[in-house]
Amino acid sequence: MVYFINDIITGALIGLLYALVAMGFVVIYRASKVFNFAQGELVIIGGFIVWFTTMQVGLSLWLSIPLSLVLAGLVGYAIERIFLTKLIGESVFSMVMVTVGLLILLRGLVLLLFGPAVRPFPIIFPLKPLFLGDMLIPMNLLIGGIITVVAAVGLSWFFNRTRSGLRMTAVAEDHVVASSMGISVKGSIAFAWILGSILSTIGAMIFLSGKSLTFLASDIGFAALPVALFAGLESIGGLILAGVIIGVAQSLTTNYLDPMIGGSLGSVVPYIIMLAILLVRPTGLFGWRTIERV
């Protein structure tokens, strides 16, 4: 029974990590109505920035972490300025296809600049797990879960209670109308990409702390995809519940069903849950339903 509870707790914390990465999807979508398929690549770029400032430049964590977050924000700003600012007012399909191209481009740039070699990632969070009786809880996931909850509460307040957040939501609804109301469309979308890049870098630090860094770590973006679609692309608070449900389901399936069937059902379960929810509610569990007059 202890192992079962431990698996549930660990699965929930992994799900919260997915939720943090999925926040990047939601923040960018809520400000631009664009689904960023390159979110996983933003995670790995953030990871390489942290690795470079810490392991190569030799800065202490107290300096390298804030510097890395600033540099990641600049990367997000540069991506928006170079690739997306000229598409304002164009179809959503055009902007989505740009993010698909970004996925390929950013992965290629990472390979070009850093190569496929595996590198040790700096230890940001304690390696020693937290002991609760016979249960072992990884400290990086525990601290990451707390960060995810705090970030979700803060971003929900920002989007729902502040003028800037409401302006970003208006921009996502219609670029032309938002611009006619005096809202800076370019500024709102740029800020969303900066915020999305910073969230991705925080997710990279939690995910990679004390582990190995390689370009394949960007696959966490696809792992977080079911959480974003399950919760609904407009819901930040819903990511917490969606992440916990998917993380626990994946953990229990991996630890109990996979050994019985000799397969890898655990890696597929999140997508099965996502598809089941989308069949019943296409906008996701907490997504907004759009009512259009004909």
Q: If DSSP codes are grouped into helix, strand and coil, which group holds residue 162?
A: coil
Task: Please give the structure tokens belonging to residue 70.
Answer: 């600033």
The answer to whether residue 288 is domain-embedded is no
Q: If DSSP codes are grouped into helix, strand and coil, which group holds residue 137?
A: strand
Question: What pLDDT score was predicted for residue 200?
Answer: 94
Outline where DSSP puts E strands in 10-126. 119-120
Distance separating alpha carbons of residues 34 and 53, to the nearest angstrom:
31
End-to-end Cα spacing for the chain: 56
Kindly list the averaged pLDDT for each block of 10 residues, start to end, along the chain of length 294: 88 95 90 84 94 93 95 94 76 79 89 88 90 86 95 92 82 73 81 93 94 87 91 88 94 89 84 89 75 42
Question: What pLDDT score was predicted for residue 294?
Answer: 37
What's the structural domain count of the chain?
A: 1
The answer to whether residue 152 is domain-embedded is yes
Question: What pLDDT score was predicted for residue 182?
Answer: 76
The answer to whether residue 293 is domain-embedded is no
Question: What pLDDT score was predicted for residue 88?
Answer: 65
CB atoms within 10 A of CB 100: 13
The answer to whether residue 246 is domain-embedded is yes
Question: What pLDDT score was predicted for residue 291?
Answer: 45
Distance separating alpha carbons of residues 214 and 40, to the nearest angstrom:
12
Question: What pLDDT score was predicted for residue 248?
Answer: 95
Q: Please report the DSSP string for 89-120 in residue order.
A: TS-HHHHHHHHHHHHHHHHHHHHHHH-S--EE
The answer to whether residue 287 is domain-embedded is no
The answer to whether residue 214 is domain-embedded is yes
Question: What pLDDT score was predicted for residue 293?
Answer: 42
Q: Residue 30: what residue type?
A: R
Distance separating alpha carbons of residues 11 and 215, to the nearest angstrom:
24
- CA-nearest of 23, 28, 26, 20 to 191 is 28
Q: If DSSP codes are grouped into helix, strand and coil, which group holds residue 132?
A: strand
Task: Please give the structure tokens belonging to residue 128.
Answer: 């020693």
Q: Please report the DSSP string for 177-232 in residue order.
A: HHHHTT--HHHHHHHHHHHHHHHHHHHHHHHHTTSEE-GGGGGHHHHHHHHHHHH-
Range of the domain at 120: 2-280
Q: Are 249 and 269 in contact (CB under 8 A)?
A: yes
Rg (CA), the chain: 19
CB atoms within 10 A of CB 102: 20
Which CATH number goes with the domain that contains 66?
A: 1.10.3470
The answer to whether residue 263 is domain-embedded is yes
Q: Between the CA atoms of 38, 171, 23 and 25, what dihedral angle is there, to the nearest 10 degrees?
A: -20
- CA-nearest of 289, 292, 167 to 234 is 289
Q: Report pTM.
A: 0.92
Q: If DSSP codes are grouped into helix, strand and coil, which group holds residue 285?
A: coil
The answer to whether residue 289 is domain-embedded is no
